[in-house]
Structure 1
Amino acid sequence: MSWERQPGHQQGYGQWYGYSGYTHQPPMPVVPREPVPPAAAEAEEEKPPPRLPGRDRYFDTLRAVALIRVVTYHTFGWAWAGMVFPSMGIMFALAGTLMAKSLERPALTVVRSRMRRLLPPFWFWGFFVVGAMLIHDWMPGRQIVYWIVPLGDPPGNAWAEQAWEILWYLRTYLWFVLLSPLLLRVFRLAPVPVLLLSLAPIVVFRFAWQPPDNRLGSALTDLATFLFCWILGFAHRDGVPARLRPFAVAVLSLAAIGFGGWYAFTHQAGTGSYDLDDIPLAQAFWSAGYVTLLMWAKSYFGIDFAWLTRFRRTDRIVTIFNSRAVTIYLWHEIALILAVPLIDQFWNVPAFERYLPLESQWFLFGIGWILIAVFVLLCGWVEDVAGKKKPTLLPGGGRAAAPCGRTATMGQ
């Protein structure tokens, strides 16, 4: 959900500064700089990042591909998709990197900022989902508090399960945000040992103690599954991967991938599938090895995908995916749900029935993305408001009409 921001979670990766030519001036007196108060620092963080070289397009591209893979998986249900590209592990690692960067400022300020960026889009989305469930005979109890702050899985009825079951990601992300000040302090005491030991909880949960089958157990399992990826984000921010020997990184990463794959294929009895989403231990090790290679390659080879900015349309798409990550994640299941009855209506048009592949899952995939784009236009501005930015239809463009008939300047 990243995602973490991630989606609604990223803060930008810094700015490049340069100086143009100037005429000779006498030296200016040096004036001591006043310390920046926390409130001013937070306001500075909220300023939109520059579009061109200020952002790390490698990370931005990974996040965009991760979101595409999530929608693809929820459309086709391919068990192998998580092995080809473990989206959730990647998004947690990217969010961990950004969190470590932000924690250079006071922890309380950072946590408050992250929650402010996440909760308003969640509340806006939840208003429609909860309202629809109430219409369909759902009556909430005290657990409705989780629709305000999703520290546990929000309750819902079976009718809307496909929509709300994705909220585990937001719940896990929120807990990682709250725990990050402590986790980062522990990590910096012994970076490599703590990183390796972060896989221990999921091993304990599998072989020594099984968490209870309730909200607490689900939260503990998801935290343990992706703990390594989150702390790997810390490690990348602190430059740890670049200091490791390539041979050791390759051997340990491939060993983790190998173990995760072996465990997934040999423990299908419970689910009948090798889908990593159903096998937390396999998910943890496969994601750990895969994401480690991605992070190490970036540090070792200096990958930044700066060339992407030469392709304006592709670069714009990546920008939109990153600026609307929370919107895409929250609304994509609803888009896929609505695509089904919409396609059913196409059968009533003889030309559509004759020439369009209405029975194809690929056609559903395409219609789903059209509806996702509609939701991005209608609802994405909430992410701007949550980030204290001027609401826009699409980031990085010119001028366009904002929702509700108001006009707003587009671009960042």
Structure 2
Amino acid sequence: MALRVTDRAVVPAQTSPLEIEPGPGPAAPKPKAGRDRYLDLLRALALVRVVIYHNFSWTWLPLVFPSMGVMFALAGSLMAKSLSRPALSVIRGRMRRLLPPMWMFGAVLLTAMILDGWGPNSEGHPNWWWGHLAFWILPLSTPPFASNLSGFGGHLPSTWAEQVAVPLWYLRAYLWFVLLSPLMLKAVRRLPWVTLLVPLALSAFLNSGLVDQSGRVMEAATDFTTFASCWLLGMAHNEGLLRRIPQYVVPSIAPLVLAAGYWWLQQAPVDNPRVGPDLEAVPLAQAIWSFGSVMLLLHLSPSWEKWPRPLERFNGVVSLLNSRAVTVYLWHSLALVLTEPLINPLWSNDFIYTHLQWLLSSQWLPLLVAIPLILLALLLFGWVEDVAAKRRPRLFPYPRRPKGQRRK
């Protein structure tokens, strides 16, 4: 996340000669940069949108707010800011923050899959199974998971592991962006606009039908080209490149980019005509739409060091989501999967079936059940993020108001 803070020297209107030191004194320390609350808000909204989308599968949600493009852009901005230090130390620090939460997630998921019958023989390729387990240590490719299980005697759907493993692609793509960021930042500084557009051109080539997209390598390449322009936009934002162009340029170009992305989405085949086209199922359309949306969001970029008064009430939730972003993203799918065995027994209760059938059949009920489960995951596993960041572990880092301060 980029922190744009302008240091302004405070000059008194009138200065008495008695207040002037005879010699050059020590330089006044610069004020410590605070968090950019606007970028914090974008990250929190992106996480909430991901959870809602995975619960309701509303295909219009990615059009309203393309969460993945926003998250990659914010990460790219933060990475560019960090690269003022030696590149190897920055990459090592980013990997240290990413991998321990994933290892905890993998330890739980692998144990559960093995207990449910997954193993070398279940896939038919014992050597493949053992070799690919290394991706749970370093996710250069998507870590392996079971596609079909017994569901613990039918209590869970047979595809529960596949549903829980949905977030793993993001970690793989994030790792590759981190590893290539030093080169990407140099390219942004030398040829900014060419660099921003190259991933879109590569995405168009990969999705043209001329390239076989099967296999792990092409899977990683597709995700990389889909979101690389957003990552680069975040870097350009941190470098101040977007502020050097006239203010009217981005609002003039971005709608045309969004129109092109929407047009391409409408041309793509639709799997379910009743649902309609899904942006997240069409990589090139998602790349173009995310690029246009991120351009607008970063162009606004009010850089709030303090919350605007109407948003002050959301400080606690936004701060919590930002401090536990990886935990929420990794564990929300498991929370949604676990809602099924928790809700199904309620259909056997005569009173609930008679009077609350409308609630049992509502899509909102799984979300209401999943929220406490996500909070439980924050308590059980969120502290790993603190350890990975070399902070004091906290069970629930919800910010407290200073003593004696009342809510306005």
Tell me the TM-score normalized by structure 1: 0.82
Match of 2:130 in 1: 141
Q: CA deviation at 1:296?
A: 0.9
* Contact 2:383/2:393 (<8 A) preserved: yes
Which of 50, 58, 71 is equivalent to 1:91?
A: 71
Question: In structure 2, what is the equivalent of residue 47 of structure 1?
Answer: none
Residues 16 and 54 of structure 1 are in contact (CA less than 8 Å); yes or no, is this contact kept in structure 2?
no
Correspondence list, 1:330-369, <5 A: 330-350=330-350, 352-353=352-353, 354-355=355-356, 357-369=359-371
Pairwise CA distance, 1:349: 4.6
Is 2:142 the counterpart of 1:162?
Answer: no
Q: Which digits, 9 at most, give the CA deviation of each residue in 1:324-349, with x for residues without a partner? A: 00000000000001111111233355
Q: 1:376 aligns with which of 342, 356, 378?
A: 378
2:283 pairs with one of 277, 280, 283? 280
1:237-316 paired onto structure 2 within 5 Å = 237-269=238-270, 273-298=276-301, 302-304=302-304, 306-308=306-308, 313-316=313-316
Task: Report if the CA contact (8 A) 1:163-1:333 is conserved.
Answer: yes
Relative to structure 1, the CA distance from residue 305 to residue 367 in structure 2 (aligned partners, 3 Å threshold; closer, same or farther) is farther
Residue type of the alignment partner of 1:137: G
Cα distance per residue 1:303-325 (max 9 Å; x no partner): 53833477554101000010000
User: SS of the residue aligned with 2:139?
Assistant: coil
Give TM-score, length-normalised by structure 2.
0.82
The one-letter code matched in structure 2 to 1:171 is R
Residue 201 of structure 2 aligns with which residue?
200
Q: CA deviation at 1:187?
A: 1.2
Is 1:216 matched up with 2:205?
A: no
| Paired residues, number | 368
Q: Deviations over 1:253-302 (max 9, x none)?
A: 1111111111111212567541111111100101111110111122xxx3
Q: Which ranges of structure 2 fall in alignment gaps of 5 or more residues?
A: 11-17, 120-128, 150-160, 402-408
Distance 1:14 1:296, change over 3 A: closer
- State the one-letter code of the partner of 2:278: D
Task: State the 1:238 CA deviation.
Answer: 1.1
CA distance in structure 1 between the aligned counterparts of 2:22 and 2:380, rounded to whole angstroms: 53
Cα distance, 1:391–1:200 mapped onto 2, change above 3 Å = same
Task: State whether residues 2 and 238 of structure 2, in contact with CA within 8 Å, keep that contact through their aligned partners in structure 1.
Answer: no
Residue pair 1:226, 1:284 contacting (<8 A) in 2 also: yes
Q: Distance in 1 between matches of 2:22 and 2:165?
A: 62
Aligned residue in 1 for 2:405? none
Q: 1:382-410: CA deviations, max 9, x gaps?
A: 110110000112224459xxxxxxxxxxx
Verify the 8 A CA contact 1:232 1:292 in the aligned structure 2. yes
2:261–2:289 contact (8 Å) kept in structure 1: yes
Decide whether the 8 Å contact of 1:271 with 1:278 is kept in 2: no
The residue number in structure 2 matching 1:106 is 86
Give the C-alpha shift of residue 157 in structure 1. Answer: 0.6
SS, match of residue 199 in structure 1: helix
Deviations 1:330-377 (A, max 9, x none): 000000011111112333555544347122111111111121111112
C-alpha contact (below 8 Å) 1:309/1:315 kept by paired residues: no
Aligned partner of residue 173 in structure 2, secondary structure:
helix
Partner amino acid for 1:285?
Answer: I
- Bigger mean CA deviation after superposition, 190-199 or 67-76: 190-199
2:140 touches 2:172 (CA, 8 Å); kept in 1? yes
How far, CA to CA, are the matches of 1:92 and 1:383 in structure 2? Answer: 19
Residue 327 (str. 1) matches residue 307 (str. 2)? no
**Contact 2:39–2:303 (CA under 8 A) maintained in structure 1:** no
* Cα distance change on mapping 1:208 and 1:334 into 2, 3 Å: closer
Tell me how far apart the structure 2 counterparts of residues 259 and 89 of structure 1 sit (CA, whole Å).
Answer: 16
Regions of 4+ moved over 6 Å? 11-19, 23-32
| Matches of 1:26 and 1:297, distance apart in 2 | 43
- Counterpart residue number, 1:39: none
Tell me what 1:115 maps to.
Answer: 95
Cα deviations across residues 30-53 of structure 1 (Å, max 9, x unaligned)?
A: 689xxxxxxxxxxxxxxxxx9xx8
CA distance in 2, matches of 1:309, 1:345: 45
Alignment of 1:58-97 (within 5 A): 58-97=38-77
**Residue pair 1:151, 1:171 contacting (<8 A) in 2 also:** yes
- Are 1:188 and 2:168 counterparts? no
> Could you report, residue by residue, the CA deviation over 1:205-245 in whole angstroms, capped at 9, with x for unpaired residues?
12374254111100000000001100000110011112223
Aligned residue type for 2:82: S
Instruction: Identify if the C-alpha distance between structure 1 residues 27 and 258 changes in structure 2 by more than 3 Å, giving closer, same or farther.
Output: same
**1:172-226 deviations in Å (ceiling 9; x for gaps):** 0010000000110111112123223332111121237425411110000000000
- Partners of 2:206 and 2:213 within 8 A in 1: no
